[in-house]
């Protein structure tokens, strides 16, 4: 196999046919190794390109997941706030209910007292009327 090249330094496995010629003679086994190295280098470059693309895609996915997690955290905070507000409303309703119950009990007692006194007054009036 023959390769054409310019002036080079430190090529121990090459033999220059003449000083005026740019042709370099390389053994077939070394040329195969060079070819394999070039092919594997190209494969590695393509693989690195794919890995970088995958890394960018993964970074986008992670950013999206982070935004979803942040949205869920905000939603949880909102739900906790709603629960706290509803608990306060429930406590207020209990207090109002207790107030209404005590007011109803007072009115019921007054009504019962009024009914009893009215009955006694009518009974006393009836007894007086009948005893006359």
Contacts of residue 28, Cβ cutoff 8 Å, sequence gap at least 6 = 1
Distances (CA, A) of 54 to 47, 60, 61, 76, 83: 10, 10, 10, 32, 43
- pLDDT tens digits, one per residue of 56-91: 999 999 999 999 999 999 999 999 999 999 999 999
| Single pTM value for the model | 0.49
Backbone angles phi, psi at 15, to 5 degrees: -125, 120
């Amino acid at each position: 196999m023959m390769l054409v090249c310019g002036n080079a330094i430190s090529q121990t496995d090459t033999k220059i046919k003449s000083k005026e010629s740019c042709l370099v003679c390389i053994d077939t086994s070394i040329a195969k190794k060079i070819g394999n190295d070039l092919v594997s280098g190209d494969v590695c470059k393509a693989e690195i390109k794919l890995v970088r693309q995958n890394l960018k895609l993964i970074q986008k996915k992670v950013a999206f997941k982070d935004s979803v997690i942040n949205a869920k955290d905000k939603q949880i905070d909102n739900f906790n706030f709603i629960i706290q507000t509803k608990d306060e409303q429930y406590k207020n309703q209990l207090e109002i209910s207790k107030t209404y119950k005590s007011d109803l009990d007072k009115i019921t007692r007054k009504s019962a007292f009024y009914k009893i006194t009215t009955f006694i007054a009518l009974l006393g009036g009836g007894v007086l009327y009948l005893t006359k």
